[in-house]
Homo-oligomer: A and B are copies of this chain.
């Protein structure tokens, strides 16, 4: 056997080969190349910087971390500081007391030790207390699995539920490609249900039911329903009534409800609020025996945007003891998530309260970020809607806009000639003309024959007018070139 053959690409796991992940796909790799070119040959491109609007990564675009959170992390990383007099003038009093309190819950104050596989018990207690206070229904530390961001939790559940290609997971289309990638990697079937663009990306139970029955008629054992609320890439916030219907649907059909609730703090409209699916289920009187439910949360989103810290948790309820043991075992194989991320997960669920020294500055930082995000979302939405052939729903929440681009036939043919999907062709041209990186809708899924882009609302506010102008100039030139 020739050595090289052992690692020829065609001999790799076909599930890996099949998997796609658009938010870090071809366009982004091309953008990274252009960024390098700008460094080595300044002036060689029609723009002087790459603007990454492909991924919800706020701090990469200048958003500052919340001071209180970082104070606590620094103190926990280097607890010797707590014994020094100078520390009192460098850190807020409540950060110092919070760090002490956290260290007291970590056995041996050892932030460098592996924790319990579900995460440090005291930090899970704090997260459970935060959930209880958010929902008004009790949460339990034993139900919390602290994870390195939300993604590992999603992978864990897919790994558990998917046995083979006949096991299906209902996913919204458009969806965040973590779900399609994870289902592909675990060899299952993605069963799509379409969000209705005309009703602001509404989730129709009738469509859910139709897709479920359709999949079952093809012999697919549909095991779970993924709901992303607030929506990614679509930005809608589910109405309470709609959530009741979804919970009822899952109970009636025997589906696990996988609730991606990582944007729970990102809501920009007054007439909508976040309700966790657990709160909805409990307020319907459904308890542990009625509904297997997993809620995913992350420190990467919200107003905190701490993507690089890789913190998050999943709250699992409604699973039998033997199933929970299996989840625990899978978590154990990776030992534990990183302790810095664990601490941060406990902090975002228990930020400073009225009366704490940091409260005023914390509140000011939080409000400034969320209000600015709301203004940015609105400005970009309005700008998209003014352009020829673009229509954009309201961003009620999350960090994205997902406008539809009505591409002229001539552009579609040019894309075909270039062997690109039409939206990928558009996005590539946008990148090469302006340095703006967005993700083609085909990476998320869309109604066949429609074309979209996902654009984050994250460029700093003072850059938004320039982004809008660059986009407008590009789009008008593109339309002039390809208008039918």
Contacts of A84 in B (CB 8 A): 90
A3:B251 contact, CB within 8 angstroms: yes
Name A57's contact: one of B4, B19, B32, B113 (CB within 8 Å): B113
B111:A308 contact, CB within 8 angstroms: yes
The verdict on A178 contacting B333 (CB below 8 Å), with A107-B60, A251-B3 known, is: yes
A residues 152-184 with Cβ under 8 Å of B?
152, 155, 159-163, 178, 181-182
* A360 touches B (CB below 8 Å): no
B291:A308 contact, CB within 8 angstroms: no
Binding site secondary structure of chain A: helix
Q: Roughly how many angstroms separate A254 CA and B320 CA in the complex, as a whole number? A: 45
Mark A residues whose CB is within 8 Å of B.
1-9, 11-14, 16-17, 19, 21, 24, 32, 55, 57-62, 65, 67, 70-71, 73-75, 77-78, 80-81, 84, 86-87, 89-90, 107-108, 110-117, 148-149, 151-152, 155, 159-163, 178, 181-182, 185-186, 223, 251, 253-256, 289-292, 300, 305-310, 318-320, 322-323, 325-326, 329-330, 332-341
Contacts of A340 in B (CB 8 A): 77, 309, 338, 340
Contacts of A337 in B (CB 8 A): 148, 310
12 extra A-B contacts, CB within 8 A, seeds A32-B116, A308-B339: A4-B289, A7-B319, A7-B323, A12-B161, A59-B110, A60-B110, A65-B112, A74-B77, A110-B308, A112-B309, A113-B308, A159-B185
Please name the residue on chain B nearest to A300 by beta carbon: B114
A330:B16 contact, CB within 8 angstroms: yes
CB distance from A91 to the nearest CB of B (A): 8
CB distance from A92 to the nearest CB of B (A): 11
Contacts of A319 in B (CB 8 A): 7
Please name the residue on chain B nearest to A337 by beta carbon: B310
Q: Roughly how many angstroms separate A111 CA and B63 CA in the complex, as a whole number? A: 11
Q: Roughly how many angstroms separate A420 CA and B336 CA in the complex, as a whole number? A: 28
Contacts of A253 in B (CB 8 A): 1
